[in-house]
Every structure is written in structure tokens, then in C-alpha cells.
Structure 1
């Protein structure tokens, strides 16, 4: 059985997890942690046995009864009070279920903006008509069909209804829902699915925190209180309670003062995934180590997925991460991987010239965000340099990028930062050494540390292509070419920015967690980044807000499903 040592960690790990129910000591004695080589099997009994190191897959010891100070009876517990958890809790309560909402932070996480949906009443009123089967096919294609097409179709069928529900709530609070209909032109088709909550009236300029979930989370929180949902902040869930394989509750709180929550219907996991858990990223998704920065919230430490795995839940066979090509790094001290300490350059996704560390162009720069990151990984040192000149404002305006890479406001899109704001941000990055600035191309090459002659030749060639309006080398659309002639000149060393994991627990169309045999675990459900079965390999960037749209939609499906269980 030596071959198993050479397989990906996920395969041997999941074989190991199948024995989780026998407990930590039983697993160790079963030999899974020691490996299956013939040498191990024939090891002399007199040799000292080495103690195996526990990792995130190892079930913890049961919490002693002496540390459980309170017991609460309820119908449903939702773990995590972000978008998915809040929607699930509200939907369950509206369906008549007594609901407790646990959140380990002092408040709900609010960050994402766009929410993808099809056939919302707002889209219908605007004449937006999207072929559901085409959308499902395209989403599955992005993931190489390593997805449950039934779930993707479920999103397409139910997302409009879920968005209508949310629209009614936010509009009653004096806010407004809009759909981004100004779409990107290019080789990759874009879809008018992105819904965003904005102020009413809507400003032309706005920044992070002034639209999207930071606006609707407080509204949902207030509605949850009105419905009698018991929200417990600063209360991390730590262990699920099982009886004969059925999840019957969850233990939450802190050592010496835990509370047992017994449920009559089920537990819904919505803890935000494992994007901030270095051990889990290394184990499940090592490509995350090619990112130079991260904007994953600290609360996304894998709590829900770990608890489910300890309870016998199965994971997607391959894992990926959502990545934007905006991870700016210091040219000398910047590193890839943990602790992902680089910055976030919002113009990193603009289709300016990209070169590798040898000063050579290597790709059509007009790609979906993670595709350009992928292309950069293939180059020496797994990074690239983005190059622009002092005409950058005119260039960005002409590039006409959309969704979250959009800088210039447009009436058919939510508010954006604007060029003046970006100029201030660039100045700050120049001061920090994250953007290089030089009066000549030769000086810029020297600062970057790339071969001057190669770099100069690349710039000269790119200028020829831009002036003739025909990218003979890589086929970039003509209006996204830009000359680099007017000094001063600028460069930023870019990698990926990590946003979240896109794979997680296997689920069915009721959001119920599946075991290794694809059978549902009674009483256990998952949504958002705790769940899987939907994405793989790459995030479909051209469906603006698909991750949050799935989270909202499936949060609603889960809440109703469990309430009616």
C-alpha cells in the first residue's frame, strides 16, 4: 500500500475521517495515522511507537459535563451570523421555528457587495433575461464540471425569489437594490446578475463599507430581533452533539462555561469557511500559497467545516480559492504565502501591460482575475509586474472594466471609488514602496530589478501594438491596449489576493451535509463557504457576486428546509 503515500492529502485524509466515529484513540489504533506501508506493518513490536501529531481532522476529546454550565432547548441553531447565517436564521424563524443564532465575533461580519441572481423582479422590470441553462452550463464549465449540477440549477431557479425577499426587506428600511447592467466587453461573456444594496438616493462615488452587506446586515439583524431570534455574540461553537449518527445539538462558549444547545430540527453551519486557517489551506488548497495578500476575515478559521468533518461529513474532492490579481508586494521584502502580508491594489485588475521578472510580456492581460493570477504563477518566481504611465486615468476610463474592478462611476453600476480616490491610494503605495515610480523606462527597470534591455524591448514592442490597435502577440482587444510613453512611469509587483475558499462540505439540495457514502447526516446542514459541491478550480468571475448570491439563496433554502424538517 505504499502508493497511498504519494496520493494527495485529501484522499488519505478522507479515508481516515471515515473512522472518526470510533474516536481519537480508536483511530490511532486502527493504523490510519501510522500509514499503510508494508514496512510499518512488519515493524518489530519491540521498537518504540511514536506518538502521532493531531491535526485539524482529529476529533477533540468530548467536552466534560463539568464544563457545561447551561442547557438551552430550541428547534434550530445557526452557527455564524454573516450573510448566510443571518438569512438562514431569518428564513427559519419566518417559517415558525424557534431559532438561536451563534456568532463567535462581537458582531456580524459584513464585507461582500454583489449578489448574483437570475429572474429577480428587479431584473424582470429592467428587461434583463438570462438563459438559466446557459448560466448553469457556464458555471459548471468554469469548475470543469467538478460540481453538483443539481445545486447550480437550484441557485438559478431559486436565486431570483431569494433576491426578491431581500429586496423587500432592504427597501422597507429605506435602502435600494440595484442590478449592474453595464457589462464588460471581451472574450469572456459577462452576465447581468449582480445585485447590490445601495443608499437611496444613490451617490456616484462610494467606498468599501458604504454599500453592499455593510448596509443590509444591520437591517437583517434588527429584523432578527423583531422575530425573536436569540442572537448570541462572542459565543463560538466548538463541538456538535451526535446520537446514533444524528446531530442533536451543539456546544458553544468558552472553557469552564459552555452551553449545550439541544435542537429538535437541526444545526446549520455558516461560519465563513477556512480562508484564514493556514493549516487547512496548506492541507486542502496549497495553491493559496501563491497569494501574496489576503482580505479574508479573521473569523473564517474553519470552525464549521472542522466540526462537520469530526461528525463524519465529506469534503469536496479538490479545493480551490477565490483570488483577485491584486496582491501587491514589496519588491524586496514581499513574500508569497502565509501570513499573506502584502497589500491590495484595486487597479491590479486593470488590463495594463504585465511582464515577468525577466522583463518579458507573457499573457493577454484582459483576463478574469484568477486567470491572470494563474498565468503569473507559471512565470519565474510565480509573480508578475504591472506597468503603466502617466496617462493611466485616460487608460482606465477607456478600459471600461466592470464589477469590482470598475473604478470610473457609471449610471448602470453601483457607486465606485473614482479616479481621484485611486490617485490618493497610489500615492500612499508609492510612499510605502509598494508602487515604483521613475522618470525613464530604464530607471524603472533598474528599480524593478529586471534586465533593462529585455524590458525596454518589451515596452517598445507593446507601444507598437497599441498604436496599430492590433495585439498580434497575445490578442488583447484593441481598446484595452495602452502606450507606455509619458513619464513618470509606474510598476507594481503583483500576485494574488486571497478572498475565501470556494470548496467545502458536500451537501444535497436541502443543504444537508453528506457523509463519505453520499448519505445525508441527519440534523446537519451547511451554507456559504462552509459548503461545497458548487465551485471548483476557478471562481466564475463573470457572474458578478455569484459566491454571495449562492450564500443568500442557499441560506434561505436551508432555513426553510430545516424549519420544515
Structure 2
């Protein structure tokens, strides 16, 4: 018998679920429990503990009862697992998020099709997997939730293997691991490093056949003292990757792939302990079975459109604008119901914002939604700043993502500082070949004029703010006082070299990343992108690629040091895995 108070464990777990923002089905169940009598509440809480320890960790390390309950259960004997209906096997109540409840098995199908490989999703990674599997001689069927193929992003990075040394390739793998808090799977990263050139050359050539020409961008990143030469396909000028994806979607169908549009994957088909197919639901509500003799490749993307999943696996994304609603984790849920587990939370989030068309990431004075300085601006990268601004989302009850917006106050001689800081600073004034345009910034001949123009811009953009001219001017003057004193940043401890005066005339650059565009962690996979179960054992027949897979990254935020890495990884992992599964 457990030595812990079971009712206390579940109360704490329920409170954690509430704090992470799960206000849908899970919150409704918790509220239902709270509304009952004390006797009834304790009875339900006690019965809910009949979920096994293995189930607690099965879905990314934070299953039914949350971290508190899992930790408290460390000394308990294993209990019954969840039944397929989502209740535990003895019929007692399940406490946890709705997406972890396994539905009843689907057994009736209006159509059954047989292939070597089944791909779930027709984005960058799914199309790449489909092409590579076909090229390797496999037959391929694809389930796609939308009416067309659908991709995202404007840029995809590959390593130029002809210019990059063997030591530099290894240094790049190590560098990505460092940027990922050492949580990345080095084997997955190395697959990208060694296969990306081939995979992205194919994508560029295939897209160009349909009239979508890449505008190449070559650049160098020094990783651990070694120069790594990157080549990127860019499509900023041509509707992003989507235009090329439509061409490639047509091409893979001409090559023999069958794509079932408007037919999302709702379950996986398991036969003799092996994932042997994927079940889609068409727009008439009928179920279609696509059997896979060699394997199912999950390429369904992330779960950014599912609020319950988002707040569960990435609680620090609460209040950000969910930019894509159709990537709702449907395929990931199907994989988890088949025994796959998610990467440990909190997942790596890709957060972007709107403002000037090109990033301006330099460590000048930052003023928050109140016109106050709020941080050491040495951490100036867009994708990392959510860690500093999410407290402002809380101020508006997480109901207005523009509360994360702020301004960077920039002197007119900023170019001189960029040249001086470039050798030792993590700064950026460009995005691929596109450079900043100061004409798009807000300007003031006096500090008061600058403040008034900032307020006018914030009002026009409907930011959640309470700026005043007085507060803005006072903050700039205080900053200049620190600079003039020459004794360092007594307010936030910023590096001395960054402490430069900001005198009128000067600029204000709109900043603040409030859109969460993607989660780049998904199902836990091995070096071959084969999904793993709760015991870290490969699940026969099940693979995942792109944002549905992991851990390629692992940090709380997407590292932006290698431009185009996310899309490059998606195309490459699909390409490599399609070929691998076809060869089984």
C-alpha cells in the first residue's frame, strides 16, 4: 500500500492541471470532482490512483496525474493500466487531460488499401518521406487532413559537405546539442548534417520544375572553432515553401503515391503487436484503413492548434497567439494511443513576432508595455524573449498576446556598434539576404516626440499597453544616467560594452514575439526515427519525422543561430526516413 495520502496527490495534480491552463475537458472533470461532497470526492480521488506508474510516464513523462502525482507514487506497487475507453481497467475514474484517453478501437472500414509504406501528413517532411520511399521502390499511401498539401516557412538549411570538414560536421552536431541544453539526439542531428545537402537539392530541383525557383543563401557559422558552410533554399520572394510543395505534391502522385485528402489519421492499426497501418476518417465520417507492410511514418506536424496539448506539454506558451489551428496534434494522439511517448516537456517552441520586416536583434534599451526597462538586453534574440515577457501576458489574464510586445530604443549610430560588437555578440540585423530597413522604424527628433510616436504606433497596432510620454522619457533618461556614470549597469547588470548612450534623434523598433508558430519536439524517437515506448524500446512499424519527431532540439526555445534549420530538418528527416523504411 502507498505511504502517501492518495487524495492529497490527486488534489495537487488537479491543481497543477488547472495552473497549466487546461480549461477544456480536463478542467471540466476536475471541477466536477470539486463540486461533489467530501465523501464522494475522496472516493473518486482514491479510485483514480489505480493508474499504473508506467502509464504515468507513458505519454512524455507527465501523464494522468502530473509530475507531483508521479513523484509521490515512486514507492507504490504497479496498478492497472487505462482501458481503451480512457477509464482505468476496474472502471474507476480517470483524472487527466482528455487527449491521453485512448478511445475504443475502430474495427469497421469502408475501404482498405495496402502499401509498403504509409505516411501520415503531406507537409515538408511527409512529402519528402513519400518521394524517398517511392524512389526506393516502395508503394506509398498518404493520409492528409487538409484538402491540399500544406507547408510552412521560407528557408531550409543544409550543410555544404564539399566545403565543410569532418571535424566541422561533428562540431556542428555538438553545437546544436549545446544550444539544446544537451537534450538532442546526436544521431538524429547527424542524419540531418550528412543528408541535408542531398535532400534539399532534391526539393529545390523538384520545386523549380513547377516554376518555384529558390533564391540560394550561403553563409558560415563558427561552431566550436570550426567554420560550417551552410547552403539554404529560400523562398521569401515566392510564397514560401508552399508553392513548391503544391508542385511536389502533384509530382509524388504522378510517381505513384496515393494521397487521401481531407482524411485525417484518427488511429493507428495494430496487428500482432506491430503498428501495421493508419486509420483515416473521411469527410463523411467513414473510416479508411491504409495497411503498411513495412512501416507507418508519422509526419503530421505538431500540436500548436490544440490548446489543451499546448498548455500541457509547453505551459510557458500560455497566452501566446496560436498561429496555426489545423496542426492540432491528431496524429500525435493516435501514436500515443498505440504506445508511443512524447519527448519530455517543456517542448521547444518557435515564437515569432511582427514588426519591422527584418529582425533587428541588438542589445539596446528595451521598454515594456508600461514604458519601463525590464531586463538585461544582452539576450536580444527574438525567439528567446518570451521567457522575459510572459509575465506581461499574465497581467492581461493571458487573453491578449500583444502584452508581450515592447520597444527597443536605438541610437542613430547603431551601425557603428554593430561593427564593434559583431565579433563577440549574438546579434542579428538580417534574415538571410534581407537586411534591416531603418525607414520602417519609428523616429523622434526629441525624446518626447519619439515617445509620442511610439504611443501612436502601439495604439494603431492595438497593443495592450499603458504607455505615457513621461514614463518613456524617464526610462531613457535613467538609462543614460547609468551610461554617463561609467560604473556599469546597476539596474540589470548588462555587459559594459553594451552600455552606450541613446540621445535624440533616435529610433524605436517594435519588438516582442507573441505568435507561437510551431513546436519542434514531438514523439520520442531513436537514431532511425523509430518511435519509442515507455520503456525506451522501439515500436515495431512506427516512425516519426519533422516536428512530429524528437528530440532533435530540446531547449525551451528554438535556437536561431542556424537560419532555416527547422525546415531543413523537416525535409531531411522525412527524406532519410522514407528511404530507410522502404528498405526494411
For residues 71-95 of structure 1, give each alpha carbon's deviation from its aligned partner in whole angstroms, at most 9, with x where no partner exists: 2122211111100000000000001
Please name the residue that 2:100 is paired with.
57
Residues 469 and 552 (structure 1), Cα distance of their counterparts in 2 relative to 1, 3 Å cut:
farther
Q: Matches of residues 107-506 of structure 1 in structure 2 within 5 Å?
A: 107-120=148-161, 124=163, 131-170=168-207, 175-176=213-214, 178-181=216-219, 192-193=229-230, 195-198=232-235, 207=237, 210=238, 212-252=240-280, 253-291=282-320, 293-295=321-323, 297-324=324-351, 326=353, 346=357, 349-351=360-362, 352-356=364-368, 357=370, 359-365=372-378, 367-377=380-390, 381=395, 383=404, 385-388=406-409, 413-414=432-433, 422=440, 439=449, 441=451, 449-450=466-467, 455-463=472-480, 474-475=494-495, 483=502, 485-486=504-505, 490=508, 492=510, 494-506=512-524
For residues 244-300 of structure 1, give each alpha carbon's deviation from its aligned partner in whole angstroms, at most 9, with x where no partner exists: 321111221245432221221121111111011101011111111152x343x3221
- Unaligned 5+ runs, structure 1: 35-52, 199-205, 327-342, 428-436
Residues 13 and 388 (structure 1), Cα distance of their counterparts in 2 relative to 1, 3 Å cut:
same
Distance (whole Å) between structure 1 residues aligned to residue 580 and residue 193 of structure 2: 18
Shift of 1:141: 1.7
Note if contact 1:407-1:419 (Cα within 8 Å) is conserved in structure 2. no
| Secondary structure at the counterpart of residue 217 of structure 1 | helix
Query: Are 2:113 and 1:72 aligned?
Result: yes
For residues 463-521 of structure 1, give each alpha carbon's deviation from its aligned partner in whole angstroms, at most 9, with x where no partner exists: 5788999985522766x96835237x757573532121122111112211111111111
Distance (whole Å) between structure 1 residues aligned to residue 113 and residue 434 of structure 2: 44
Query: Are 2:548 and 1:530 aligned?
Result: yes
Distance (whole Å) between structure 2 residues aligned to residue 64 and residue 273 of structure 1: 27
Residues 443 and 521 (structure 1), Cα distance of their counterparts in 2 relative to 1, 3 Å cut:
closer
Aligned length: 493
Distance (whole Å) between structure 1 residues aligned to residue 273 and residue 351 of structure 2: 40
Shift of 1:367: 2.5
Shift of 1:101: 1.9
Distance (whole Å) between structure 2 residues aligned to residue 418 and residue 445 of structure 1: 21
Query: Are 2:580 and 1:561 aligned?
Result: yes
Residues 69 and 139 (structure 1), Cα distance of their counterparts in 2 relative to 1, 3 Å cut:
same
Note if contact 1:78-1:267 (Cα within 8 Å) is conserved in structure 2. yes
| Secondary structure at the counterpart of residue 267 of structure 2 | strand
Residues 451 and 239 (structure 1), Cα distance of their counterparts in 2 relative to 1, 3 Å cut:
same
Please name the residue that 1:93 is paired with.
134
For residues 364-416 of structure 1, give each alpha carbon's deviation from its aligned partner in whole angstroms, at most 9, with x where no partner exists: 25532232222333679484621447959989998999xxx97768xxx4457
Residues 445 and 300 (structure 1), Cα distance of their counterparts in 2 relative to 1, 3 Å cut:
closer
Residues 108 and 442 (structure 1), Cα distance of their counterparts in 2 relative to 1, 3 Å cut:
closer
Shift of 1:558: 1.3
Please name the residue that 2:571 is paired with.
552
Distance (whole Å) between structure 2 residues aligned to residue 153 and residue 30 of structure 1: 46
Residues 98 and 467 (structure 1), Cα distance of their counterparts in 2 relative to 1, 3 Å cut:
farther
Please name the residue that 1:202 is paired with.
none
Note if contact 1:361-1:458 (Cα within 8 Å) is conserved in structure 2. no
Deviates more, 1:174-183 or 1:100-109: 174-183
2:94 pairs with one of 24, 27, 33: 33
Distance (whole Å) between structure 2 residues aligned to residue 468 and residue 457 of structure 1: 17
Shift of 1:159: 2.3
Distance (whole Å) between structure 1 residues aligned to residue 500 and residue 225 of structure 2: 17
Residues 470 and 485 (structure 1), Cα distance of their counterparts in 2 relative to 1, 3 Å cut:
farther
Residues 256 and 444 (structure 1), Cα distance of their counterparts in 2 relative to 1, 3 Å cut:
closer
- Unaligned 5+ runs, structure 2: 18-54, 65-78, 396-402, 459-464
Q: Which has the higher contact order (CA 8 A, sep 6+)?
A: 1
Residues 325 and 477 (structure 1), Cα distance of their counterparts in 2 relative to 1, 3 Å cut:
farther
For residues 196-239 of structure 1, give each alpha carbon's deviation from its aligned partner in whole angstroms, at most 9, with x where no partner exists: 245xxxxxxx55xx164134313322321231111222221211
